[in-house]
Amino acid sequence: MFSLVKTLAVIGLQFGDEGKGKIVDFLSGHYRIVARYQGGSNAGHTVKVSGNTYKFHLIPSGILQGATCVLGNGMVIDPVQLENEIEMVKEFSPMDKLKISERAHVVFPYHMDRDIFEENIKSSNKVGTTGKGIGPAYEDKYARIGIRIIDLLDKEKLEKKLEMAINLRKNYLTKEYDIKELSKRYNEIAKKFKKNIVDTSSFLIKNIEKGNPVLFEGAQGTHLDVDFGMYPYVTSSNTTIGGAITGLGIPPKYISKVLGVIKAYTTKVGEGPFPTELHNEIGEQILKKGNEYGTTTGRPRRIGWLDLVLVKYSISISGVKYLAISKIDILSGLDEIKVAYAYEYDGKVIKNIPSDIDNIMKIKPLYRTFDGWEFTKDDVKKEIPKNMKKYIDYIEKYTGTKVSIISLGASREDTKVLKTI
Ligand code: IMP
């Protein structure tokens, strides 16, 4: 039987889109509280349940399983998107199952405007952002001109804060904003979820101390982390385990274990280096079969082989002991499957990722090749094909972790547990 620790963090170990949403959905039958700690509407989870498809950008997908979902102080929240998602999950979940941090920062239309404007004026080094205003909202937070969820509830105060924030940034905006109107609209939206705006840090601490199981959900992946990712081709938050501590206001001792999620191959959206990227028919085949299009922007994802050098680095930063591998079904039918185990750089073999972007551009992955496998979902539910097992065993050995879950298809039902966490 699958037994689980009381508190577990789920973190992406690649470039985002590892399938965390599906794993969180699967685990939230056990974890009655799911807390998200960073990012905003740049994230996208697609969950399929009983033939229906649900797309989430802010609320953890655990809400579909009736879990209480927390949007932590480390997030940047677009209230318009939040209102839409509340509407979508109404039939699954009473309103009181949603807890929104009063300290989380708000994404306004002027953040999205600036995000797109700044990307457009960069001649080189475009990041390929999602255009959801994430970078500018975090910039305002750290520049101490950000507006927090709690500020939305007082229209007059909100107006003054908006005036300051917009005036300071006006050279980076393409439109004029009617501050009175903006303040009125956002105040009205926030009033709809006023009762859900709480001190989420004390809510979580109280529940953890009572022994209630809590799952911490990271968005994006380690190689998009603002400190540890391939800077500047990163998002503007800490996607790694440190983000969970500051983004939720909980002591480190309250995170018992960390489950890392990887896709059986690698995908990336946006610009920047991608050492194992495939520019061939196999890449095309995986793109189509895996339906690799961004949930947030619809952009086709770039496809590459699994890069274990990147994964191992992510494991060390976040203290990952267990892995979930998603989309292993998509590799079925290929003659051979490759995995990068090292890089060639400057005539030497290295097993770490350089920190400088120009040096990352120069590395060449070294691959180990595995024989492919074929399976039907029913077969694999009983026994894993021999060659797939070899692939999984190699991942475990290389990374020093245990593969606890594999995902064999888009539905919740297509999930196989291999080892206890
Ligand atoms: P931003 O987070 O919108 O500022 O985008 C910064 C970079 O992170 C871009 O390369 C985006 O494509 C990427 N990114 C942001 N969120 C996600 C995600 O949820 N999945 C995959 N890539 C993402």
Q: Is 269 in the pocket of ligand 1 (CB under 6 A)?
A: yes
State pLDDT tens for residues 11-37: 999 999 999 988 998 898 889 999 999
Where does CATH 1.10.300.10 sit in the chain? 105-195
Quote the CA–CA distance of 403 and 397 in Å, as a whole number: 10
What average pLDDT does the segment 328-356 reach?
A: 96
Task: Report how far ligand 1's centroid is from the alpha carbon of 248 (Å).
Answer: 21
State pLDDT tens for residues 364-386: 999 999 999 998 877 777 889 99
Mean pLDDT for the chain? 94
Give the torsion through C-alpha atoms of 64, 248, 238, 263, to 10 deg. Answer: -30
State pLDDT tens for residues 57-86: 999 988 988 899 999 999 999 999 999 999
Closest residue CA from atom 19 of ligand 1: 43
Query: Is beta strand 105-106 parallel, antiparallel or unpaired with respect to 402-407?
Result: unpaired
Closest atom, ligand 1, to C-alpha of 134:
4
Task: Report how far ligand 1's centroid is from the alpha carbon of 198 (Å).
Answer: 28
Q: Which of 381, 254, 259, 354 is nearest to 315 (CA)?
A: 259
List the beta strands (DSSP E) in 156-221: 197-198, 214-221
Of 25, 30, 45, 393, the catalytic one is 45
pLDDT at position 3:
63
pLDDT at position 375:
82
Main-chain dihedrals φ then ψ at residue 229, nearest 5 degrees: -85, -175
Closest atom, ligand 1, to C-alpha of 135:
4
How many other β-carbons are positioned within 10 Å of the β-carbon of residue 81? Answer: 17
- In this structure, what token pair is assigned to residue 308? 């274990």
Q: Is 134 in the pocket of ligand 1 (CB under 6 A)?
A: yes
What average pLDDT does the segment 272-277 reach?
A: 97
Mutate to test the pocket of ligand 1, among 138, 269, 296, 297 (most ligand atoms within 8 A of CB): 269
Q: Is 315 in the pocket of ligand 1 (CB under 6 A)?
A: no
State pLDDT tens for residues 216-239: 999 999 999 999 999 999 999 999
State pLDDT tens for residues 86-116: 999 888 788 899 999 999 999 999 999 999 9
Task: Report how far ligand 1's centroid is from the alpha carbon of 136 (Å).
Answer: 13
- pLDDT exceeds cutoff 90 at 1: no
- List beta partners, residue 45: 56
Task: Report how far ligand 1's centroid is from the alpha carbon of 269 (Å).
Answer: 7
Based on its alpha-carbon atoms, the radius of gyration of the chain, rounded to whole angstroms, reads 21
> What residue type is 200 in one-letter code?
T
The conformation of residue 180, written as its DSSP 8-state character, comes to: H
Task: Report how far ligand 1's centroid is from the alpha carbon of 272 (Å).
Answer: 11
Sequence-distant (6+) residues with CB within 8 A of 317 are: 222, 225, 228, 240, 241
Q: Is 42 in the pocket of ligand 1 (CB under 6 A)?
A: yes
Of 143 and 379, the structure prediction assigns the larger pLDDT to 143
Domain 105-195 has CATH 1.10.300.10: yes
| Lowest-confidence segment of 123-132, 255-264, 349-358 by average pLDDT | 123-132
Q: Is 76 in the pocket of ligand 1 (CB under 6 A)?
A: no
Q: Is 28 in the pocket of ligand 1 (CB under 6 A)?
A: no
State pLDDT tens for residues 180-220: 999 999 999 999 999 999 999 999 999 999 999 999 999 99
Q: Which of 98, 96, 102 is nearest to 75 (CA)?
A: 102
Of 17, 25, 115, 151, the catalytic one is 17
pLDDT at position 185:
98
Q: Which of 234, 232, 252 is nearest to 242 (CA)?
A: 252
Q: Tell me the C-alpha to C-alpha distance, in Å, between residue 113 and each of 61, 109, 371.
A: 28, 6, 48
- pLDDT exceeds cutoff 90 at 125: no
| Catalytic residue list contains 45 | yes
Closest residue CA from atom 11 of ligand 1: 129
Residue written as tokens 């802010």?
A: 58
Where does CATH 3.40.440.10 sit in the chain? 7-102+199-417
Residue written as tokens 């393409």?
A: 174
Closest residue CA from atom 8 of ligand 1: 235
Q: Residue 2: pLDDT band by 50, 70, 90 thresholds?
A: low
**Which segments of 260-329 does DSSP mark as H helices, in order?**
281-289, 308-318
- List beta partners, residue 101: 198
Quote the CA–CA distance of 112 and 114 in Å, as a whole number: 5
Task: Report how far ligand 1's centroid is from the alpha carbon of 43 (Å).
Answer: 7
Domain 7-102+199-417 in CATH: superfamily? Adenylosuccinate Synthetase, subunit A, domain 1 (3.40.440.10)
Q: Assign 272 to helix, strand or coil.
A: coil
| Catalytic residue list contains 154 | no
Q: Is 16 in the pocket of ligand 1 (CB under 6 A)?
A: yes
